Chain A
Amino acid sequence: KQEVTQIPAALSVPEGENLVLNCSFTDSAIYNLQWFRQDPGKGLTSLLLIQSSQREQTSGRLNASLDKSSGRSTLYIAASQPGDSATYLCAVLNNNNDMRFGAGTRLTVKP
């Protein structure tokens, strides 16, 4: 059974800092991995989708990497801003079409 872990559970950084969020998974037989952000009481906003054959994806200040063999993904946020404050979730879609989410990292960027 696939297990997805996100570390740290919470992170507080000053504005302007670069940061890395981590996601690990136990079963490497995946279709893709997707990073989302969720604002309090809201739905999920898709940030980046990495297919199993890809190593990384970039969008603006965000860069996500995938190392399937080691069961790891990282989300790098450059020059963080207060508006980046949210909970960041990673989700793994397994080859058996089961989707598993991590518990999330709650990010606070202080002005």
Chain B
Amino acid sequence: KAGVTQTPRYLIKTRGQQVTLSCSPISGHRSVSWYQQTPGQGLQFLFEYFSETQRNKGNFPGRFSGRQFSNSRSEMNVSTLELGDSALYLCASSLEQRSYNEQFFGPGTRLTVL
């Protein structure tokens, strides 16, 4: 069974631009969660989607948004990029909501904002 895939793997943008990241969960998994990892703040939870609905949200500004499609694939969008948005963005999938199930992570998208 294929693992969680994320595209693109690397991305370079400039301040003020917007970016969309994509995550395809493991087949049959219905929950997708997004995380940001930086050297200074470590791993922080962004949001979780389940059955096309945002179920939980971390403490990030409204510039960070996401959505989930009927096939469980998810996209994350960051608008008006700032230098501090440079990070490794990880998505994770689980069978059902992550309260009950083990999460499996993708390789991440490394975003650099210049």
Contacts and interface: CB of A to CB of B under 8 A. Distances in A.
Interface of A: 31-32, 34, 36, 41-46, 49, 89, 91, 93, 97-104
Interface residues of B, number: 26
Interface stretch (B13-21, B76-84, B99-107): B99-107
Chain B binding surface SS class: strand
A49 B99 CA distance: 11
Nearest to B106: A43
Interface of B: 4, 6, 33, 42-45, 48, 55-56, 58, 88, 90, 92, 98-108, 110
A97 B106 contact: no
A46 B45 contact: no
Nearest to B90: A43
B90 A93 contact: no
Pairs of residues from A and B, 10 with the lowest C-beta to C-beta distance, nearest first: A101-B43, A44-B105, A43-B105, A97-B56, A49-B102, A43-B107, A99-B45, A31-B99, A43-B108, A103-B42
